[in-house]
Chain A
Amino acid sequence: DAGVIQSPRHEVTEMGQEVTLRCKPISGHDYLFWYRQTMMRGLELLIYFNNNVPIDDSGMPEDRFSAKMPNASFSTLKIQPSEPRDSAVYFCASTTSSSYEQYFGPGTRLTVT
C-alpha cells in the first residue's frame, strides 16, 4: 500500500486566499483524522471522520476552516479566507475500527504571507 497520501506537500499563499488540502487515506481504513502542528501549540486534532461522517469537529479553530469527506478514499480541508496564523504543517492520518494505530501522511506545509 502507498500509505496515506497528501497533496500538495508545500503551499505558499497570500492572506485572504482560499486553500484546499487533500488527503487519500489507506484503502480499507474507515477513520480519517486531520491534525495541525505548530511550534507554539504542538499537534492539534482538528476533526475526524468515521465512515465518511464527521464525528468530532471541536478542534476546528473557526468558521474559516471546513472539512469534507465525500467518499472513503478522499478528504479535503479548506481554509477560506486564509490568514498568516494558519501557517503550519497539516497532517492527515487514517486507521481502522479494529486498530488504534494511526498512519500519518507526510504532511502539507502551509505558509500564508
Chain B
Amino acid sequence: AQSVTQLDSQVPVFEEAPVELRCNYSSSVSVYLFWYVQYPNQGLQLLLKYLSGSTLVESINGFEAEFNKSQTSFHLRKPSVHISDTAEYFCAVASTGNTGKLIFGQGTTLQVKP
C-alpha cells in the first residue's frame, strides 16, 4: 500500500522569505509524484509533477521540488514567496502500475504574511 505524509499542517512565513513544504511517501513500487495547489474556494490545480528524468522539477511560478528516492521525499520549495502564494498545498503519489488513482497527503496550509 502507498501513503503520503505531509509533515506540516500549517507553515506561516513572511513575504519574500524562502519556504519548504515537506512531503514523504511510502511505496513498494516505482512512483510518480505531484504537488497540487488549492486556492480558497477553488478546486485543486496541478503545480508540478515528477514522472521520470531529472529529479528536480519546476513550476512556472517559481516553485520547485526534488525527488529523493533514497529518502522517499518530494519536498516543495520556493526561494521567495508572495502574498498570492497563500493556499493549501497537497502532495500526491501514483504507482506506475496503477493508472489513474492518486493518493493525497493531508495538505499543508501556506500562510504568507506581509
Residues in A lying within 8 Å of B, measured CB to CB: 4, 31, 33, 42-43, 45, 48, 50, 55-56, 91, 93, 95, 97, 100-107
Residues of B within 8 A of A105 (CB): 43
Contact check, B102 vs A100: say whether CB atoms are below 8 A apart: yes
B63: CB under 8 A from chain A?
Answer: no
How distant is the Cα of A106 from the Cα of B38 in the complex, in angstroms?
A: 10
Given A42-B104, A42-B107, A43-B107, the answer on whether A101 and B43 have CB atoms closer than 8 Å is no
| Proximity bits, B5-49, A CB within 8 Å = 1, else 0 | 000000000000000000000000000101010000011111001
B interface residues, Cβ below 8 angstroms from A:
32, 34, 36, 42-46, 49, 51, 90, 94, 99-102, 104, 106-107
Residue from the list B44, B49, B94, B102 in contact with A91, Cβ < 8 A: B44
B contact residues around A103 at 8 Å (CB) = 46
Return the chain B residue nearest A45 by Cβ.
B101
A104-B43 contact given A42-B106, A42-B107, A43-B90, CB 8 Å threshold: yes
Question: Given contacts A42-B106, A42-B107, A43-B107, is CB(A97)–CB(B42) below 8 Å?
Answer: no
Nearest to A30 among chain B residues (CB) is B100
Residue of B nearest to A109 (CB): B41
- B34 adjacent to A48 (CB under 8 Å): no
| Measured CA separation A103–B43 after assembly (Å) | 9
Instruction: Knowing A43-B90, A101-B34, say if A31 contacts B106 (CB, 8 Å).
Output: no
Partner of A95, one of B44, B100, B106: B100
